[in-house]
Amino acid sequence: MDTMPCMVWLPADHRLLGDHGHQMPFLLLGDKYARAVKEGAQAQPVMFPLADAGQIQQLLSLVDGVMLTGSPSNIHPSHFNEEVADPSLPLDPVRDSLTLALIKACVHEGVPLLGICRGFQEINVALGGTLHQRVHEVPGLMDHREPPGAPVDTQYAPRHAVRFVPGSVFEEWAGAPQAMVNSLHGQGIHRLADGLEALGHAPDGLVEAVAVRGACTFAYAVQFHPEWRCRETPFYAALFEAFGKACRQRRSLRLRAADLARHRPG
């Protein structure tokens, strides 16, 4: 009997850490993301810290889903034909080089995919969309950034409503036409990729939830942070439960295919 858990790949962030002028490179994964996969999706979070785009096909064959996390860093705007608007903000070109290719592979191979915050933006860019680099400076849009210097509980507290497309899975998960969500982002979708469908909007019209058009499995992303204490919020819990269910379905298909291959004559 197979007792191995579903495995979900969470790509690492690449950052320099240290002080007194002695910084060293680190490969990082936020605890709250790994914990949400383990407790919310009932799957095992895994990392391939030095994975590159050339290894995606091989590594995807080992996992049952992919979750693209949020991060302090932003996607390099060269990926949507813009210059860097604020040089003080961190970038992570190594992550870009992996995740933008990984997204396309997940969609093509039918691997369950969940994007959160930066991951939401990565999916839009990978599929041909663009971003506002400074949402708070766009006329008509709100300031979606967290309160600076506030305690973590305050930063992740509900900030605004997101209204969902009637009949969408987000309305089903939320159990209502809209839900209050947290808001901790400075960038946001400008032009929605043709391969995405907007399923949720903030009060100012900014896209906050999307689905990959025509996906054969779970392929959704959100601009907010459902990983934050996901089991305490029914909407967030339902989202991760649905992601975990899709991952278990993929695992079942993978094991069945492997079993057939072992017993194939010749």
**Can you tell me the distance from the alpha carbon of 102 to that of 53, in angstroms, rounded to the nearest whole number?**
7
**Can you tell me the distance from the alpha carbon of 13 to that of 37, in angstroms, rounded to the nearest whole number?**
17
DSSP state, 55?
A: G
Active site includes 6? no
Longest dimension (CA), the chain: 66
Active site includes 225? yes
Q: Catalytic residue among 6, 14, 106, 117, which?
A: 117
DSSP state, 224?
A: S
Hunting for tokens 């072992």 — which residue is that? Answer: 262
Q: Catalytic residue among 122, 171, 197, 227, which?
A: 227
Closest alpha carbon to 60 in 9, 22, 107: 9
**Can you tell me the distance from the alpha carbon of 241 to that of 239, in angstroms, rounded to the nearest whole number?**
5
**What's the Cα-to-Cα distance from 80 to each of 22, 51, 117, 186, 191, rounded to whole Å?**
33, 23, 17, 17, 10
**Can you tell me the distance from the alpha carbon of 40 to that of 26, in angstroms, rounded to the nearest whole number?**
27
**What backbone torsions phi and psi does residue 108 show, to the nearest 5 degrees?**
-70, -40
Active site includes 227? yes
Buried b (16+ CB within 10 A) or exposed e, 113-140: bbbbbbbbbbbbbbbebbbbbbbeeeee
Catalytic site positions = 117, 225, 227
